[in-house]
A and B are shown apart, each in its own frame.
Chain A
Amino acid sequence: MLELFKAKEPLRFMKFSRSAMVLSILLVGASLVTLGINKLNWGLDFTGGTVIEVAFEQVANLPKVRNVLEKSHYFGAIVQYFGNSRSVMVRVPPIKGLKGEVLGAQIVHTLQAANIGKLSMRRVEFVGPNVGKELAIDGGLAIVISLFCIMLYVSIRFEWRLALGAVLALAHDVIITLGVFSFFHLEFDLTVLAAVLAVIGYSLNDTIVVFDRIRENFRRMSNSTTVGIVDMSLTQTLTRTTITSGLTSFVLIALFVVGGPVIHGFSTALLIGIFVGTYSSIYVASALAVRFGLSREDMIPKVVEKEGADQESLM
C-alpha cells in the first residue's frame, strides 16, 4: 500500500499556529497594500472599451501594428501578443465621441488595409463603461453574499466559532488571490471573478473536511485537549488534503497549458486559490476556531435525560 504520510503520532500542527498567524497577517496586509497602491488590473469586462483579437498568417510585427494604429489616430491602444506570436490583441480604452461598437470593426479594417501581412478577425468585444461598473458591483456583492450564506450554513451544521474561522479563512484566501493578481498586474476579468468564487467553494471544501473530523474526534476521544484533537484531525485528513489539492492542481495546470489564453486568468486564479486555500484550512480556519475558544461542550449536544428512556418501549 502506497502511503503519502505515515504518522503514528499526531503531527503538532498547532505548535506553529502563532507563526502561521503572523505569516497570514503579513500576507493579507501585503495584499491589501498592493491592492491599495497598484489596484487591480481590471479587464475589459469591468472598465469598458474595445478589445480586438486578430490572427496573422505569419508572425506578427507588433511595432508595425502600433505604427499603423497611431497613424490612424487610435491613441492609447495597447497592442500585445495573445497566446502565440501570430495572434495579436489590441485593447482600446473608451474614446469620447466615438461609439465603441463601431471602433472594433474600423480597427480591423484599418489593419487589413495596411501593408502588414494578411490577417483575419478572431474576436471583437466592446463593453460600455456603465455595464462594467455594474458587473464589478455585482461581483463584489456575489462574494459577500457567498461568505454570508456559508457562515450561516456552517453555523447551523457545526458551530459559530468554526463558521467564523471558516469565513475568515475564505476572506484570507480571496484577499491573497486578489493581492497576487494586483502585484503581478494580471488582468482581472469576468472569468477570474468566477474563479475567485470557485476558490471560495474549494477552500471551504478542505475546511469542512477538517471540521467534520474535529467534530467526530470530539465525540470519540473523550480525554483529549482541544488542541490535541485539532492536531489529530489535521493529521488524519492530511493525506486526503494533499491528494485532492494535488489532483486539482494537475487538472488546472493542464487547463493553463493547453486551455488557450482566454482561460489563463481563470486557471491562474484557481491555482493560487487552491494553494492558499489548502494552507488556510489548516492554519487559519482551525487555528482561529481554537483561538476563539472552541471546546468539547460546543461540539457535543447535551444529552437530555428523558424519564423512562432506559426502559424498553411498550409499543
Chain B
Amino acid sequence: MLNKFPMWKYLALGFVVLICFLYASPNLFGDDPAVQISATRGAKLEITTLKKVQYLLSNAKIKPIKETLEHGQILIRFKTGHDQLIGRDLISEALGDSFIVALNLAPATPSWLTDIGGTPLNLGLDLRGGVHFLMEVDMSEAIKKAQQEMLQDLRLSLREQKIRFRGISQSKENGSIALRFADEGTLQKALKFLKPINRGYQFTEQKTGDVYNLNVAMTTAKIQSTKEDALQQNLTILRNRVNELGVAEPLVQRQGSDRIVIELPGVQDTARAKEILGATATLEFHAVDTSTEMNDAVAGRLPPSSIVYKKRNGQPVVIKKQVILTGNHIVNAQARADEFGQPEVNISLDSKGGSKMSRFTKDNIGKPMATLFIEYLPTNKKNKAGKLVMKKHEVIANVATIQAQLGRSFRITGLSNNSEAHNLALLLRAGALTAPIQIVEERTIGPSLGKQNIINGIHAMLYGLLAVTLFMVIYYRKFGLIAIAALLFNIVMIIAVMSMIPGATLTLPGIAGIVLTVGMAVDANVLIFERIREELNSGRSVQKSIHEGYANAFSTIADSNITTLITAIILFAVGTGPVKGFAVTLIIGIATSMYTSIFGTRAIVNALWGGRNDIKKISI
C-alpha cells in the first residue's frame, strides 16, 4: 500500500525523538554559582579538605546546595552569587597557597542526566565572556639558539679531540656553520669524528684555493623537530601557568605549527592573566650543605653561606647559597627508564654549562647535589604603581648523589617513580625557555556582552521562526503545520547533537548558523510540497501524488544539500574561533534538517493520510 510506514520506522523515529529531547534537556536547567577547589603541585585534595571546607561554611552560616569531591577537585554549589563570593574568600583564606580556589558556574543538570552523559552546550567566549589569547612562538629565535649551541659544541669537541682547525664562522643568511682546515687529512679526521655524534646535521666538504671548508647545516628534519620541541615546551609551560591562574575550565591548545590558543572563560582582568602567562621560571643546581645539622638549620643556626629550602613534600634541605649552574644552560631534559626499568632523567647542557658542571663535580664525587626550582608567581596584592606583586616561590625539585665527574650530558637517578621523573624533566625544561612567545591576538568579552549576545540570538531565532510559521501555515495549511513541527524538532536535534559532541562549542555566529538552518530546512519541504501540488494538478490521485512528490524531490534536496555541505566543510577547515562555530552548526544543521524535513514530515503525513483511499483532497 502507498504511503504506509512499517511499525519499526515509527519506533526508530520515536527513539530518535526521545534521545534528542533527552540530550537537549540539560540546557534547560541553568547554572549554579559554584566554587571549584583544586590542588597545586605537591598538594593533594583529600576528604579532610572537604570536611574542613564544610565546617568553614557552616560556621559562616552559608548553606551550599551540594559539595562534591570528584576527579581530584572539590566543587561547591551555592544558592546565590553572594554566597559564592563570601565562600570563595573564606575558603581561599583558610586553605592557603597550596590550593587554587576559583569561581565557576556549574551546570545544574540533575545527576541521572549527567550519568547518561547529558551535558549542556559548551558556550563560546563570545557568549559567556572571558579572554582569548593567541600566542606565537618565535621560531627563528629557537633555531638561532640551537645553531649557536652547535657552534660552541663543534669548537669544544674539536679542541678536546685536538683536531686543529683554522677558523669557524657562522653564515648570517641561514645560520650554517663553516669550519676551515689547513689540509684534506685534518678535514677528513674531523668529519669522521663529528658526523656520527651530530645526527640531524648535514656535513658538506668544499675546497676553495688552499682552504678546506667543512659546512655544517641543520637538516630540514632537525629544523622541524627543533621547532616542534620549542612549541611543545611552551605549551607545557603555559599549561602549568594557566593552572596557577585558578580559572575554571581553561583551554590551552596548539594552533598550526607555531601558535598557541589560550581561552580563559570568565576572566576580565587581562593584565593579571598576562603577567602570569609571562611569569618566568628558572632553575639552579646547588651543593647540599652536609656539615650543618638539620635541627640547627631549621632553628635558624646555620652558616651565612647556607640556606634552608623545602622539598615539595615539605622536608627541609640545607643547601649552599653558591650556584653551580643555572637552568639557562639546560638544552634538554627527558624522562626515561634505565636498563633496570628505574626512572631517570637525562639532561643535556650547553658547552659552557658542561664545563662548569664538569669542574664542580670533579671535586665532589659522592656528595649530594640539589636542584632548586624558582618560579615568580603573582599574588593578589598590588603595589603602589598598581602592578601585581610577584612572589618568589622556591622549591627543591630533587636531591641526587654525584656518582662521577659529569660532563655535558648526565642523568639524575634515584627518583621514586615515573611520574616524578616526568615532572622533574618538565620542570627542568621549563627552566630554560628555548623560544620566546608573544601575544598576537587578544579578545576580551565582558560578561554583560556575552549575555546580551545570547538574548539577541534567541530573539532573532524566535522572530524568524514566527515569520516562517505564519507563511507556511497560511500557504500550505496542514502540510505547513507538519513542516513547522519538523522544523522545531530540527532545532531540538541540532542542540542535542551539539550537546553530545564534547568538542562542539556554540558561538554567536553559531546561533546565526542555526537561524539560517531554519530557512534552509523549510526549503526541503517547500520543494516536496510544490512537487506534490504539481502531481495533484496533473490529475494524479492523492496517494500517488504524495508518493511521487517525496520521491521526485529527494534527489534535488540531496544535491543541493551536498553542495552546501562542501562549502560548510571548507569553512570548517579554514576558519578559526567563531567562524568555525558557524561551520559546525551549519554542518550539523544540514544533516539534521535532511532527516527531519524528509523522513520526519513523511512519517506524520503517512500516519495521517497514508494508505487511505477515501481521501480525495488534502490540505496542501
The stretch from A28-36, A122-130, A294-302 touching chain B is A122-130
B467: chain A residues at CB < 8 Å are: 247, 250-251, 254
Q: Which of B351-359, B413-421, B552-560 lines the interface with chain A? A: B552-560
Q: Residue A191 at the B interface, CB < 8 A?
A: yes
Rounded to whole angstroms, the CA-CA distance of A99 and B583 in the bound complex is 32
B611 contacts partner chain A, Cβ-Cβ < 8 Å: no
Q: B556 and A191: CB pair below 8 A?
A: no
- Judging by beta carbons under 8 Å apart, are B563 and A263 in contact? no
Which residues of A, 215-268, contact B by the 8 Å Cβ criterion? 216, 236, 239-240, 243-244, 246-248, 250-252, 254-255, 257-260, 262-263, 266-267
Would A198 and B567 be within 8 Å (CB), given that A153-B562, A193-B579, A251-B467 are in contact? yes
B3 at the interface (CB under 8 A from A): no
* A145 interface residue per 8 A CB criterion: yes
Give the contacts of B396-416 with A (CB-CB under 8 A).
Answer: none
A26 interface residue (CB < 8 Å to B): no
Which of A70-78, A179-187, A202-210 contacts its partner?
A: A202-210
Q: Is A104 an interface residue (CB 8 A)?
A: yes
B267-275, B328-336, B498-506: which lies at the interface: B267-275
Q: Indicate if A200 sits at the interface (CB-CB under 8 A).
A: yes
Q: CA–CA, A2 to B474, complex, Å? A: 8
The CA of A212 and the CA of B620, in the complex, are separated in Å by 23
Residues on the A chain within 8 Å of B184, using CB: none
Choose among B534, B563, B574 the residue that contacts A138 (Cβ–Cβ < 8 A): B574
B481 within 8 A of A: no
In the complex, which residue of chain B has the Cβ closest to the Cβ of A239?
Answer: B530
Taking the complex as formed, is A38 at the interface, i.e. its CB lies under 8 A from any CB of chain B? Answer: no
Q: Assess the A254–B464 pair: CB atoms within 8 A.
A: yes
- How would residues 424 to 459 of chain B score, 1 for a CB under 8 Å from any chain A CB and 0 otherwise? 000000000000000111111110110011001101
Q: Give the distance to chain B from A132, nearest Cβ to Cβ, in Å.
A: 9
Given the complex, which residues of B lie within 8 Å of A121, measured CB to CB? 268, 444, 446
Interchain CB contact under 8 A, A263 and B134: no
- Pick the contact of A124 from B442, B459, B555 — CB < 8 Å? B442
Known interface pairs A55-B448, A205-B563, A209-B560. Does A258 touch B460 (Cβ–Cβ under 8 Å)? yes
Asked if B360 is at the interface (CB within 8 A of a chain A CB), the reply is no
B146 at the A/B interface (Cβ < 8 Å)?
no
Instruction: Decide: B519 and A251 in contact? CB cutoff 8 A.
Output: yes
Question: Is B570 among interface residues, defined by CB-CB distance under 8 A?
Answer: yes
Residues in B whose Cβ lies below 8 Å from that of A146:
566-567, 570
Interface extent on A, as a size class? 35 or more
A141 to B456, CA, bound (A): 32
* Contact (Cβ within 8 A) B620 A197: no
Contacting residue for B442 out of A101, A194, A248, CB 8 A: A101
Does A114 make an interface contact (CB < 8 A)?
no
Given A131-B440, A251-B518, A254-B464: A262 in contact with B453 (beta carbons within 8 A): yes
Partner of A248, one of B512, B520, B527, B574: B520
Task: Specify which chain A residues have a CB less than 8 angstroms from the CB of B559 in the assembled complex.
Answer: 157, 208, 212
Q: Is A90 an interface residue (CB 8 A)?
A: no
The answer to whether B568 has its CB under 8 Å from any CB of chain A is yes
Q: Contacts of B509 on A, CB cut-off 8 Å? A: 191, 194, 263, 266
CB closest chain-B residue, reference A152 = B566
Cα distance A208–B562 when bound, in Å? 10
Whether A154 sits at the interface, judged by CB under 8 Å, is: yes
> For residue B460, which residues in chain A have a CB less than 8 angstroms away from its CB?
254-255, 257-259, 263
What are 18 A-B pairs with beta-carbon distances under 8 A? A3-B533, A100-B442, A122-B446, A125-B444, A127-B441, A128-B134, A154-B563, A198-B567, A205-B560, A209-B527, A212-B555, A240-B530, A247-B522, A248-B519, A250-B468, A251-B518, A254-B463, A258-B463
Complex A-B, nearest 9 residue pairs according to Cβ-Cβ distance, in ascending order: A248-B519, A128-B440, A251-B464, A260-B456, A201-B564, A254-B463, A250-B467, A254-B464, A201-B567
12 additional contacts, CB 8 Å, given A1-B620, A53-B449, A254-B515? A123-B446, A124-B442, A128-B441, A142-B571, A190-B579, A198-B571, A208-B559, A212-B559, A247-B519, A254-B463, A258-B463, A259-B456
A residues neighboring B (CB under 8 Å): 1-3, 53, 55, 99-101, 104-105, 120-128, 130-131, 135, 138-139, 141-142, 145-146, 149-150, 153-154, 157, 190-191, 193-194, 197-198, 200-202, 204-205, 208-209, 212-213, 216, 236, 239-240, 243-244, 246-248, 250-252, 254-255, 257-260, 262-263, 266-267, 270
